[in-house]
A and B are shown apart, each in its own frame.
Chain A
Amino acid sequence: MLDAAQAEILWLSLQVALTAVACSLPLALAAAWFLARSRRRGRMVLDALVHLPLVLPPVVTGYLLLVALGRNSPLGAWLDATFGLTFAFHWTGAALAGAVMGFPLMVRPIRLSLEAIDTRVEDAAATLGASPIWVRVTVTLPLALPGIIAGMVLAFARALGEFGATITFAANIPGETRTLPLAIYSFIQVPGGEAQAAQLIAISVAVSLAALVASELIARRVKRLRGAG
Chain B
Amino acid sequence: MLSLDVEHRLGDFDLAYALDSRERVTGLFGPSGAGKSTLLRLVAGLITPRRGRIEIAGRCVFDSDRGIRVPAHRRRIGYVFQQARLFPHLNVARNLRYGAWFARARPAAARFDRVVDMLDIGALLDRRVAGLSGGEAQRVAIGRALLANPAMLLLDEPLASLDAARKAEVLPYIERLSRESELPIVFVSHQLDEMLRLANRHVVALRDGRVVFSGKSAAFLARPDLLGPEHARDAGTLLRAEIRGTAAHGLSALDCEGQPLFVPRLDQAPGGRVHLHVRARDVMLARSRPEDISALNVLAGRVAAIAQDGDQAVEVTLAIGNQRLAARITRYSAERLALAEGEPLYAVIKSLALAEQAWARLGGL
- Is A142 an interface residue, CB under 8 A from the partner? yes
- A selection of 12 A-B contacts at a CB cut-off of 8 Å is A118-B85, A125-B98, A126-B72, A129-B74, A130-B98, A134-B73, A134-B102, A142-B89, A226-B128, A226-B130, A227-B128, A227-B129
Which residues of A are at the interface with B, using a C-beta cutoff of 8 A?
118, 120-121, 123-132, 134, 138-139, 142-143, 145, 225-229
Are A227 and B46 within 8 A (Cβ)? no
- Is B145 an interface residue, CB under 8 A from the partner? yes
Are A228 and B148 within 8 A (Cβ)? no
A85 to chain B minimum Cβ distance, whole angstroms, is 38
Contacts of A143 in B (CB 8 A): 88-89
Are B81 and A120 within 8 A (Cβ)? yes
Contacts of B144 in A (CB 8 A): 128
The answer to whether A131 and B73 touch (CB under 8 A), given A228-B130, A229-B130, is yes
CB interface residues, B 63-99, toward A, < 8 Å: 71-79, 81, 83, 85-89, 98-99
- Complexed CA–CA distance, A229 and B74 (Å): 36
- Is B44 an interface residue, CB under 8 A from the partner? yes
Are B102 and A128 within 8 A (Cβ)? yes
Tell me what chain B mostly uses at the interface: helix, strand, loop, or mixed: mixed
- Complexed CA–CA distance, A19 and B338 (Å): 96
Tell me what chain A mostly uses at the interface: helix, strand, loop, or mixed: helix
A144 to chain B minimum Cβ distance, whole angstroms, is 10
- Is B11 an interface residue, CB under 8 A from the partner? no
Query: How many residues of B are counted as interface, with CB atoms below 8 angstroms from the partner's CB atoms?
Result: 31
Are B89 and A226 within 8 A (Cβ)? yes
A223 to chain B minimum Cβ distance, whole angstroms, is 10
Contacts of A120 in B (CB 8 A): 81, 83, 85
Contacts of B44 in A (CB 8 A): 127
Are A121 and B130 within 8 A (Cβ)? no
Contacts of B88 in A (CB 8 A): 121, 143, 226-228
| Binary contact readout B129-166 vs A (1 if CB under 8 angstroms, 0 otherwise) | 11100000000000011001000000000000000000
CB interface residues, B 287-303, toward A, < 8 Å: none
- Complexed CA–CA distance, A103 and B103 (Å): 39
Which residues of B are at the interface with A, using a C-beta cutoff of 8 A?
44-46, 71-79, 81, 83, 85-89, 98-99, 101-103, 128-131, 144-145, 148
- Complexed CA–CA distance, A132 and B102 (Å): 12
From A121, A226, A229, contact of B85 by CB (8 A):
A121
Contacts of A228 in B (CB 8 A): 88, 130
- Complexed CA–CA distance, A123 and B45 (Å): 10
Are B89 and A128 within 8 A (Cβ)? no
Which of A126, A142, A225, A228: most chain B CB closer than 10 A? A126
Nearest first, the 8 closest Cβ-Cβ pairs linking A and B are: A227-B128, A129-B102, A128-B99, A127-B79, A227-B130, A126-B72, A124-B85, A142-B89
- Complexed CA–CA distance, A125 and B148 (Å): 10
Contacts of B74 in A (CB 8 A): 129
Chain A's closest residue to B84 (CB) is: A124
- Complexed CA–CA distance, A107 and B44 (Å): 33
Chain B's closest residue to A135 (CB) is: B73
- Complexed CA–CA distance, A228 and B86 (Å): 14
Contacts of B75 in A (CB 8 A): 127
Chain A's closest residue to B141 (CB) is: A124
Are A128 and B131 within 8 A (Cβ)? no
Chain B's closest residue to A143 (CB) is: B89
The answer to whether A123 and B99 touch (CB under 8 A), given A131-B71, A131-B73, A142-B89, is no
Contacts of B129 in A (CB 8 A): 227
Chain B's closest residue to A225 (CB) is: B89
B113 to chain A minimum Cβ distance, whole angstroms, is 20
From B72, B77, B103, B131, contact of A227 by CB (8 A):
B131
Contacts of A139 in B (CB 8 A): 87, 89
B95 to chain A minimum Cβ distance, whole angstroms, is 10
Contacts of B102 in A (CB 8 A): 128-130, 134
Contacts of B87 in A (CB 8 A): 121, 124-125, 139
- Complexed CA–CA distance, A114 and B92 (Å): 23
The answer to whether A127 and B130 touch (CB under 8 A), given A121-B87, A226-B89, is no
- Complexed CA–CA distance, A138 and B46 (Å): 18
Chain A's closest residue to B88 (CB) is: A226
A188 to chain B minimum Cβ distance, whole angstroms, is 47
